[in-house]
Structure 1
Amino acid sequence: MKLVKAYIRPMLLEEVYKALRAEGHCCITVFRGEGAGQYTDPDHAHGLLKFPAMHSKVVKIEITALDEAVESIIEIIQKTASTDSRGDGIIFVMPIENMIRIRDGKEGTQVIE
């Protein structure tokens, strides 16, 4: 099992979500945020008094997936979220040791199958 985290442009969230759903990747978690780094879009970066570094608005998508689904998820996000410009985002893939569903205590791949 893996956890795929992707930081993308907010304006592309709906398109990415629809593309993931169309390929059977149904379950995602979305967070709205602001980030500073090499994935920051220099044309839309700004500073605030509370966060003076130049930063951009981002959306973080998290998807828990079976190992065999990870490449498909990455391809969909990369293809759909790319504008061929700096600031398009970044994808991380991390191993998951275990998952436990709170409702019934089921563990492992049963939780997402």
Structure 2
Amino acid sequence: MKLIKAYIRPKMFEETHKALKKEGFRSMTVMEAEGMGSYCDPDDQHSSLQFPTLHSKVVKVEMVAEAEHVDAIVTIIHEHAGTGHPGDGLIVVLPIERSIRVRDGEQRRYTV
């Protein structure tokens, strides 16, 4: 099992979500976030009272997937979230060691 985290432009989320859903990848957690760093769009940075440094709004998408589906998911996100400009975001893939179901405590261990 793998954890995929994608940080993408908010305006690209809807198209990316539709493409993932069309291919059967429906389970995800989505959060609005604000990021700063070299990946930010220099034309879309701003500051606020909450974050006085320059930053960009991003959508953070998290998905847990079987290892054999990771490449397909990453390709869909890359193709539908990218504009070809700085600030398009970042995709990170991490191994999952185990999962615990909250309802009953059932645990699954995965080889890393």
Q: TM-score, normalised by structure 2?
A: 0.91
Match of 1:57 in 2: 57
Is 1:10 paired with 2:10? yes
Match of 1:34 in 2: 34
Which structure carries more strand by proportion? 2
Q: Bigger shift: 99-108 or 3-12?
A: 99-108
Structure 1 residues 89-108: aligned runs within 5 Å: 89-108=89-108
Match of 1:71 in 2: 71
1:96 deviates by 0.4
Distance 2:76 2:38 in 1: 22
1:74 deviates by 0.3
Distance 1:65 1:45 in 2: 32
1:101 deviates by 1.5
Give SS of 2:12's match: helix
Distance 1:72 1:106 in 2: 28
1:105 deviates by 3.3
Q: TM-score, normalised by structure 1?
A: 0.91
Match of 1:80 in 2: 80
Distance 2:60 2:97 in 1: 21
Give SS of 2:103's match: coil
1:92 deviates by 0.5
| Equivalent residue pairs, number | 109
Give SS of 2:84's match: coil
Q: Which runs of 5+ in 2 are unaligned?
A: none
Give SS of 2:25's match: coil
Q: CA RMSD in A?
A: 1.3
1:78 deviates by 0.3
